[in-house]
A and B are shown apart, each in its own frame.
Chain A
């Protein structure tokens, strides 16, 4: 799995130079070794690194235009691992850039608790920094969006799987789940064709856990993901940068996992409380879908 990219030095913030050793070995090492804090002084390059790692960082490293196959392998392992989780509760904290009309960025935050019970149970409680709350329910047949404050809810037909439901909510209704990519990662292999470049940026601590930090580039989006090292290759942080916008707005998500959640009996079924009103919902095309249609 040795790539032909040789060694590249990339200086991480904090001045710690990290050798990108020839492809696979280092990345494979990321995944299997127990979490150990990297020594900043010693390059973690395994003996197999073909090129001499002595290039000084002063000769500016060229941007990677290649895909480190070890990264794709780690991401596929992450997806496979996610697939094995029959139930989980994921808490997320997101910060998203909005572009103002003077091209200035403003950042808004939200928090979500997402309960998933495979194959087709999902409940997301979302709260944003304005205090607005929404609860999304999915039961394999319908998806319901409920606002506990004004008690309006809308229910739509949904496909039977989490991944398809996420896609329909996004494309048809403009509703994004807190980590919308989660159900693509755990249902598909990473599409290497879509990826223009992928770099390993070293080990990083996120929320107390050691992770491998990857930076990838695709059409219209640069993204970074921090995958937990060790036995549970979970995504711990995600940063998505929109490159179609000159202002390059970012969306970042911190993920906290509970792999042994306790669910209530009615968690995934929406029961309209007294005073709740079912209302219509607009599609992204502007069509209005009314109850009973």
Chain B
């Protein structure tokens, strides 16, 4: 079992993979961590991930129920937090273009080492869908990287 600091680090990366936004990820991690604490001894990554994902879906539901209002121009700019993400690794600019399910699947598969079946169990998606998401995510990033390198000379 991970120590709490390691578990938090993993949970944060998963939350970033889910949201694509470091600030949202911090909030999700905080809420998920509160759930983990209240669950007693269930301090493992899968439980934390489920808690984070559940809250992410709850947020999405709320967002669907509340129409957005156009914000002032400065709010449309890329936030410093997202800039920080891209600074950490330029590939994030491509990762952020992926649909959330693809990004999530790539994280769980490539970083956590989960199989497609395990990801399917976690996300409630069919295994074939997960395989498709992994394939499409890779393909998109491969294309993005090629374009990016070409533009970079």
Q: Report if A and B associate in a common complex.
A: no
Chain A residues within 8 Å of B, Cβ to Cβ = none
